[in-house]
């Protein structure tokens, strides 16, 4: 069963390996875990529902607890401490667009706030009920989880918006197709949630971001039903899909998603190489990307992430042999791990792989082969479980991310890492490392992970995190980065959005929200902060 207070199914456990724990302890010092709350103590806090009865709405306390929080660090601390704060007054699980429509009408009739809910995996506070004088209904798309239609000739699949990653791929695989959207949250996040939050997956280099996959669909808005046809390309006015992409539940509830799919690839493999240092590594991957080498994924870890990754992986002896071998080949302490994948037709994949290897060797790098690549593939969705493994030992892990143009990649990364380190507090260490995982000809995403010790209490731990998050966000916008390349805005990033969109961009989004949802019934406070969403001219 899915955990009520953490990531994934309770059957899945990935405890920290001894070598990993020693590594973290050496960096940060020993730590004391904070005590976890019991589910019952949380259930006891759930207040009576303020909702009128409705056949599609459950007001069961446990269901309300299980839909109250996402997966951000504040969410984690809330769930672990048992201090949830707010709960939805009820949870609806409609099975059709028609039922969603009816629930929206009912919500209007009863003046209810509605929070659309996909997989509940937001790390930016997208689905958290806010204090409100109105009752709050969380509308989960969980039951709309089927492949509705597959047009093989045009390679377009239509899914219920609540279909989670594994069910998307399984239903397609049975027909010989793949979508290829693999965000870190893939096990739990849904196709509608990907659209609503402009998600990006690990193999975006081949399959594109969700923007490139999203061909059309159906959105139930407070104004009425918005149907977006799947046309391959059009010059007929602004693209409505691009208004819904990233709308984060503010403009309507996505109920049906049409996506561009491809036949299952003939072949797929992942490989690891090392470059002698960061500058060489960045130059190398920038060159590979700008030459449009048709890789399916490409990731480069900075030296600290490389070290951490190898230590946390376990296999001490093997790793030590690897260090020695790489050292002899010119990749010493400052080496950077490069992971890359090829996916597709056999012949083209072979050619791509040869070209990639040639470039890596030409830059003084060492290609290791598929062993570590296979390891990456096996554990590609395991990172969210790392929070559990560290938490047990008194450590907290979180991540933040952005995308910047190539010119800014290294300065932005340094500024982001530095900002977090500076906020650690008196004599306290933070372990910070970074990778680039979505590379574009114009620039790259930057994904930073940081680990620190729990403070003596939950509130102090949260305060420490807040200081680091604030500093990191400031560093991001100061370096021309987007406040989110893949996590979305939610409530946590909303204060920073203006740095990317500007005054007039913000006004346009506000105006669209006001257009689709004049009552501000849908997910208020998400994406755009202003309590007053209606556009004030001039």
- Decide: is 535 part of the binding site for a copy of itself (CB under 8 A): yes
Site for a copy of itself in 283-302 (CB under 8 A): 286, 290-292, 294
List b or e across 300-311, with b for residues whose CB sees 16 or more CB atoms inside 10 angstroms: bbbbbbbbbbbb
Q: How far apart are CB 538 and a copy of itself at their closest, in Å?
A: 7
As a three-state string, the secondary structure of 93-131 is CCCCHHHHHHHHHHHHHCCCEEEEECCCCCCCCCCCCCC
Q: Which residue among 485, 520, 525, 533 contacts a copy of itself (CB under 8 A)?
A: 485
Stretch binding a copy of itself (CB under 8 A), from 267-275, 415-423, 456-464, 480-488: 480-488
Q: Which of 57, 51, 77, 24 is nearest to 457 (CA)?
A: 77
- Decide: is 108 part of the binding site for a copy of itself (CB under 8 A): no
As a three-state string, the secondary structure of 190-240 is EHHHHHHCCCCCCCHHHHCCHHHHEEEEEEEECCEEEEECCCCCCCCCCCC
Measured CA to CA in angstroms, residue 46 lies from 4, 24, 83 at distances of 14, 37, 11
As a three-state string, the secondary structure of 424-474 is CCCCCCCEEEEEECCECCCEEEEEEEEEEECCCCHHHHHHHHHHHHHHHHH
**Closest CB to a copy of itself among residues 22, 407:** 407
Q: How far apart are CB 160 and a copy of itself at their closest, in Å?
A: 20
Q: From CA 63, how far away is CA 56, in angstroms rounded?
A: 13
Q: Which residue among 271, 299, 464, 493 contacts a copy of itself (CB under 8 A)?
A: 493
Q: Which residue among 139, 157, 228, 257 contacts a copy of itself (CB under 8 A)?
A: 228
Sheet holding 267-275, edge to edge: 366-369, 267-275, 336-344, 297-301, 431-436, 443-453, 395-405
Binding site members: 116-122, 248-254, 387
**Closest CB to a copy of itself among residues 206, 335:** 206
**Integer distance in angstroms from the first to the last C-alpha of the chain?**
52
Binding flags for a copy of itself, 443-462, as an x/- string (CB under 8 A): xxx-----------------
**Closest CB to a copy of itself among residues 453, 493:** 493
Site for a copy of itself in 162-201 (CB under 8 A): 197-200
Q: From CA 23, how far away is CA 526, in angstroms rounded?
A: 38
- Decide: is 486 part of the binding site for a copy of itself (CB under 8 A): yes
**Closest CB to a copy of itself among residues 81, 448:** 448
Q: Which residue among 227, 279, 333, 460 contacts a copy of itself (CB under 8 A)?
A: 227
Q: How far apart are CB 129 and a copy of itself at their closest, in Å?
A: 21
Whether 14 is catalytic is no
Q: Which residue among 64, 126, 260, 464 contacts a copy of itself (CB under 8 A)?
A: 260
- Decide: is 508 part of the binding site for a copy of itself (CB under 8 A): yes
Q: Which residue among 25, 132, 440, 478 contacts a copy of itself (CB under 8 A)?
A: 440
- Decide: is 246 part of the binding site for a copy of itself (CB under 8 A): yes
- Decide: is 264 part of the binding site for a copy of itself (CB under 8 A): no
- Decide: is 13 part of the binding site for a copy of itself (CB under 8 A): no
DSSP single-letter state for residue 367: E
Which pair of tokens denotes residue 97? 């667009």
Binding flags for a copy of itself, 400-439, as an x/- string (CB under 8 A): ---xxxxx------------------------------x-
Residues 6+ apart with CB under 8 A from 358: none
Cβ 269 vs Cβ 344: under 8 Å: no
Q: How far apart are CB 172 and a copy of itself at their closest, in Å?
A: 15
Cβ 179 vs Cβ 157: under 8 Å: yes
Q: How far apart are CB 415 and a copy of itself at their closest, in Å?
A: 16
Site for a copy of itself in 134-163 (CB under 8 A): 151, 153-156
Q: Which of 207, 385, 395, 447 is catalytic?
A: 447
Residues in the interface with a copy of itself (CB under 8 A) total 95
Cβ 528 vs Cβ 510: under 8 Å: yes
Residues 6+ apart with CB under 8 A from 482: 402, 403, 404, 476, 500
Cβ 480 vs Cβ 442: under 8 Å: no
Q: From CA 531, how far away is CA 538, in angstroms rounded?
A: 18
Q: How far apart are CB 481 and a copy of itself at their closest, in Å?
A: 7
Site for a copy of itself in 339-358 (CB under 8 A): 344-345, 347-348, 351, 355
DSSP single-letter state for residue 16: P
Stretch binding a copy of itself (CB under 8 A), from 49-57, 94-102, 236-244, 326-334: 236-244
Binding site members for substrate: 387
Q: From CA 485, how far away is CA 200, in angstroms rounded?
A: 8
* Burial degree of 421 (CB within 10 A; 0-12, 13-18, 19+): middle
Q: Which residue among 72, 189, 349, 482 contacts a copy of itself (CB under 8 A)?
A: 482
**Closest CB to a copy of itself among residues 155, 470:** 155
**Residues acting as catalytic residues:** 447
């Amino acid at each position: 069963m899915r955990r009520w207070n953490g990531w994934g199914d309770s059957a899945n456990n990935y405890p920290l390996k001894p070598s990993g724990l020693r590594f973290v302890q050496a960096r940060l010092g020993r730590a004391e875990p904070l005590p976890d709350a019991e589910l019952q103590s949380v259930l006891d806090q759930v207040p009576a529902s303020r909702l009128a009865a409705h056949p599609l709405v459950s007001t069961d306390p446990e269901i309300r607890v299980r839909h109250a929080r996402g997966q951000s660090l504040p969410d984690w601390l809330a769930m672990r401490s048992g201090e949830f704060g707010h709960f939805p007054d009820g949870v609806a699980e409609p099975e059709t667009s028609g039922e969603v429509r009816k629930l929206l009408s009912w919500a209007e009739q009863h003046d209810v706030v509605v929070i659309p809910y996909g997989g509940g995996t937001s790390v930016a506070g997208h689905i958290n009920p806010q204090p409100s004088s109105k009752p709050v209904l969380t509308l989960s798309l969980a039951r709309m989880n089927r492949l509705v239609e597959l047009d093989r000739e045009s390679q377009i699949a239509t899914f219920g918006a609540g279909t989670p990653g594994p069910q998307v791929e399984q239903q397609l695989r049975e027909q010989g197709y793949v979508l290829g959207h693999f965000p870190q949250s893939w096990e739990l996040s849904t196709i509608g949630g990907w659209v609503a939050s402009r998600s990006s997956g690990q193999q975006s280099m081949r399959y594109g971001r969700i923007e490139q996959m999203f061909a059309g669909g159906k959105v139930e808005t407070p104004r009425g039903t918005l149907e977006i046809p799947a046309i391959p390309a059009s010059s007929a006015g602004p693209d409505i899909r691009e208004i819904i992409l990233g709308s984060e539940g503010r403009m309507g509830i996505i109920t049906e998603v049409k996506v561009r799919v491809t036949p299952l690839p003939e072949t797929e493999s992942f490989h690891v190489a090392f470059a002698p240092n960061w500058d060489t590594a960045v130059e190398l991957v920038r060159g590979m990307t700008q030459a449009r080498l048709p890789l399916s994924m490409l990731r480069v870890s900075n030296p600290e992430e490389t070290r951490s990754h190898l230590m946390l992986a376990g296999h001490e002896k093997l790793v030590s042999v690897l260090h020695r071998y790489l050292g002899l080949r010119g990749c010493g302490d400052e080496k950077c791990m490069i992971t890359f994948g090829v996916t597709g037709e056999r012949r083209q994949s072979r050619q791509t792989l040869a070209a990639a290897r040639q470039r890596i060797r030409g830059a003084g790098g060492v290609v290791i082969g598929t062993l570590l690549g296979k390891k990456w593939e096996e554990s590609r969705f395991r990172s969210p479980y790392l929070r559990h493994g560290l938490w047990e030992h008194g450590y907290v892990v979180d991540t933040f991310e952005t995308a910047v143009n190539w010119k800014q990649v290294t300065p932005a990364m340094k500024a982001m890492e530095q900002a977090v380190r500076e906020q650690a507090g008196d004599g306290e260490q933070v372990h910070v490392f970074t990778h680039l995982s979505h590379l574009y000809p114009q620039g790259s995403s930057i994904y930073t992970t940081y680990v620190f010790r729990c403070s003596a209490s939950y509130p102090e731990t949260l305060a420490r995190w807040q200081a680091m998050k604030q500093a990191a966000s400031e560093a991001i916008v100061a370096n021309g980065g987007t406040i989110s390349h893949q996590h979305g805005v939610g409530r946590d990033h909303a204060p920073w959005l203006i740095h990317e969109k500007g005054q007039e961009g913000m006004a346009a989004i506000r105006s669209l929200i006001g257009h689709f949802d004049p009552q501000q019934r849908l997910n208020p406070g998400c994406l755009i902060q202003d309590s007053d969403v209606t556009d004030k001219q001039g």
